[in-house]
C-alpha cells in the first residue's frame, strides 16, 4: 500500500449516518467502489483519486480523527461532545437531526427538575449528562449503558435517562416523558488538526464544495 500521506482518509460511521454521509461525499466527488457499511473490508480505497475510507463504529470516529488515522470524519455532535476528542469541527452537515434530553417514567414524574437531585440516571452519554446536571447544581449517579437506555427506569436501575431522541416514539411506547432538553445534534464534518494544516487545500476544497451543495439545496 502506498504511503498514507498520499491519501486523504475519511472515517465514516456505521449505522444511520453512513448512507447520507457517503451520498453527500459522493456528490462532491469523494467515493470508492464497494463503499458500504456492510463491507467486510475495513479500509475501502479509491486508488485513482487517492481517497481512503475507514468504516468504523460510531463512537470510534473521533478517536481515528484525533490521532490522525483519519484526516476527516463524519459524526454526530453528540458523539463529539461525549468523546471530548481534540478535533476541528468544520461544518454542520444538517442531517441526522436529533436532540439530547432527560426523560422519566410518566407515573413517577416529580414536580421540579431539582427533585431528581442525588438520583440515578442511565445513559450512553455520562460526560454530557454530568455537564448538564452540574450546570443545574445537581449531583447524580451515572449508570453507563450501551443499548436500550429506556430499560433503566423500567427495571428499577435508574430514576431517569439521558438519551438521544428523534421522534419520541420509543419514549411513548415505554411510558417515558421528556422533562428536560439538553441540546440539538446533527452530523458534523470533523478534521484532524495536523491534517487540516498539511492537507489544507484538499480539505478546504471539500468544505467549499459541501457548502455550495447546502446553498443549492436551500434555494
Local confidence band at 6 (pLDDT 50, 70, 90 cut-offs): confident
The pLDDT value recorded for residue 3 is: 54
Fold: same for 4-96+186-218 and 98-183: yes
Q: Give Cα separations from 165 to 81, 132, 174 (angstroms).
A: 16, 16, 13
**Which range (5-9, 16-20, 56-60, 174-178) has the least confidence?**
5-9
Tell me the three-class secondary structure of 30-75, residue by residue: CCCCCCCCCCCCCEEEECCCCEEEEEECHHHHHHHHHCCCCCEEEE
pLDDT of residue 1: 40
Looking at residue 4, its pLDDT comes to 62
Q: Average pLDDT in the 95-118 region?
A: 96
> What mean pLDDT comes out for the span 179-193?
97
- Tell me how far apart the alpha carbons of residues 200 and 218 are, in angstroms, rounded to a whole number: 27
Cell of 191: 478534521
Backbone angles phi, psi at 210, to 5 degrees: -70, -40
- What is the average pLDDT across 167-179? 94
Output 40 or 203, whichever has higher pLDDT. 203
How far apart (Å, rounded) are the C-alpha atoms in residues 77 and 91?
A: 11
- Residues, the chain: 219
pLDDT at residue 39 in the model = 85
The domain 98-183: what is its CATH number?
A: 3.40.190.10
CATH class for the domain made up of 4-96+186-218: alpha beta
Long-range contacts of 22-27 (CB under 8 A, 24+ apart): 24/93, 24/95, 24/210, 24/213, 25/74, 25/206, 27/213
Percent of the chain with pLDDT over 70: 97
Decide if 123 contacts 144 (C-beta within 8 A). Answer: yes
pLDDT at 181 over 80: yes
Domain borders along the chain are 4-96+186-218, 98-183
pLDDT per residue as tens digits for the range 149-161: 999 999 999 999 9
pLDDT at position 150: 94
Q: What is the mean pLDDT of residues 56-63?
A: 96
CA atoms of 200 and 204, how far apart (whole Å): 6
Percent of the chain scored above 90 by pLDDT? 90
Mean pLDDT of 88-98: 96
Predicted structure pTM score: 0.90
Looking at the predicted structure, is the pLDDT value of residue 31 above 80? yes
What's the pLDDT at 2? Answer: 45
Q: Mean pLDDT across the chain, nearest whole number?
A: 94
Rounded to the nearest 5°, which phi and psi values hold at 161?
-130, 155
> What's the rounded mean pLDDT across residues 91-111?
96
Amino acid at each position: 500500500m502506498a504511503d498514507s500521506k498520499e491519501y486523504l482518509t475519511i472515517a465514516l460511521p456505521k449505522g444511520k449516518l453512513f448512507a447520507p454521509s457517503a451520498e453527500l461525499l459522493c456528490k462532491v466527488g469523494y467515493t470508492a467502489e464497494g463503499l458500504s457499511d456492510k463491507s467486510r473490508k475495513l479500509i475501502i480505497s479509491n486508488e485513482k483519486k487517492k481517497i481512503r475510507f475507514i468504516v468504523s463504529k460510531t463512537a470510534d470516529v473521533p478517536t481515528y480523527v484525533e490521532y490522525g488515522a483519519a484526516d476527516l470524519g463524519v459524526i454526530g455532535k453528540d458523539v463529539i461532545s461525549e468523546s471530548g476528542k481534540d478535533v476541528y469541527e468544520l461544518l454542520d452537515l444538517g442531517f441526522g437531526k436529533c436532540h439530547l434530553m432527560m426523560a422519566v417514567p410518566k407515573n413517577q414524574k416529580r414536580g421540579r427538575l431539582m427533585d431528581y437531585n442525588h438520583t440515578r440516571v442511565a445513559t450512553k452519554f455520562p460526560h454530557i449528562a454530568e455537564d448538564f446536571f452540574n450546570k443545574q447544581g445537581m449531583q447524580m449517579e451515572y449508570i453507563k449503558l450501551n443499548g436500550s437506555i429506556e430499560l433503566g427506569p423500567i427495571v428499577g436501575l435508574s430514576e431517569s435517562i439521558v438519551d438521544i431522541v428523534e421522534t419520541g416514539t420509543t419514549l411513548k411506547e415505554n411510558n417515558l416523558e421528556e422533562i428536560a432538553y439538553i441540546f440539538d445534534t446533527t452530523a458534523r464534518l470533523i478534521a484532524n488538526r495536523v491534517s487540516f494544516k498539511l492537507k489544507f487545500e484538499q480539505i478546504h476544497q471539500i468544505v467549499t464544495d459541501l457548502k455550495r451543495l447546502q446553498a443549492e439545496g436551500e434555494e
